[in-house]
Amino acid sequence: DAGITQSPRHKVTETGTPVTLRCHQTENHRYMYWYRQDPGHGLRLIHYSYGVKDTDKGEVSDGYSVSRSKTEDFLLTLESATSSQTSVYFCAISPGDFNYGYTFGSGTRLTVV
Amino acid sequence: SQQGEEDPQALSIQEGENATMNCSYKTSINNLQWYRQNSGRGLVHLILIRSNEREKHSGRLRVTLDTSKKSSSLLITASRAADTASYFCATRGAGSYQLTFGKGTKLSVIP
């Protein structure tokens, strides 16, 4: 998707290993979000950022941490991957706080074996 | 917990027909948004309606919002096969940074 890229697109990892997913944007948007999408649950917010070094937890933050050292990059780390974290992860960006839509990346499909 | 819930979960129509999807939510909102997701892709923002608006149009899309009933509908007129996708409503709670998504309606448009 224009202005936002996620890497890697696919990853298979073993239980117990740390994993980092990267979201990179070229839009200079202030707000960045990490969601996971699972069948039967829709999209659920993991963490979000409202500026460099400013982050907060979402609905399903346990087992995840984030960092944002630059406006353009928002990293999601699974500290010790578990099978329950097998999911599709989406990053989203937004220029403002309330009356703006989100632009989503293409997603990272993560499988924990 | 999910704020918005779409209905129906799945909808199958013939090309050229209109498709209507509904969304209900539970708490006060600042705005409500609709997104489309094609299979294996990210979500695409379609339309945003603020809590003080009742109806909004964008091309073949018409969105209504009834805050007294805490519900919204998305109408796609003259559907095309390319409209086949999942459609999600998302709500922004009053004073919240977070956008909360429903589980989606899967629309199939048969050529």
Using a CB-CB distance cutoff of 8 angstroms, which residues of chain A are in contact with residue B38? none
Distance from CA of A80 to the nearest CA of B (A): 24
Using a CB-CB distance cutoff of 8 angstroms, which residues of chain B are in contact with residue A97? 97
Query: What's the average model confidence in pLDDT over A90-107?
Result: 91
Nearest to B92 among A40, A58, A98 (CB): A98
pLDDT in tens, A78-94: 999 999 999 999 999 99
Distance from CA of B77 to the nearest CA of A (A): 22
At residue B48, the pLDDT reads 96
Q: Is the pLDDT of residue A99 over 90?
A: no
At residue A64, the pLDDT reads 98
Residue B30 C-beta-side C-alpha neighbours within 13 Å: 14
Q: Which segments within chain A are labelled E, that is strand?
A: 4-7, 10-13, 19-25, 31-38, 42-51, 54-57, 64-70, 73-78, 87-94, 103-104, 108-112
pLDDT in tens, A30-73: 999 999 999 888 899 999 999 999 999 999 999 999 999 999 99
pLDDT in tens, B17-73: 999 999 999 989 999 999 999 998 999 999 999 999 999 999 999 999 999 999 999
Give the span between the Cα atoms of B51 and B35, in whole angstroms. 17
DSSP state of A99: S
In the chain, the amino acid numbered B37 is Q
Contact criterion met (CB < 8 Å) for B45 and A103: yes
Contact criterion met (CB < 8 Å) for A106 and B102: no
Residues of chain A whose beta carbon is less than 8 angstroms from a beta carbon of chain B are 1, 31, 33, 35, 40-45, 48, 50, 56, 58-59, 90, 92, 97-107
At residue B3, the pLDDT reads 66
Residue A85 C-beta-side C-alpha neighbours within 13 Å: 28
Give the span between the Cα atoms of B87 and B7, in whole angstroms. 10
Element holding B47 (H helix, E strand): strand B43-50
3 state SS of A40:
coil
At residue B98, the pLDDT reads 81
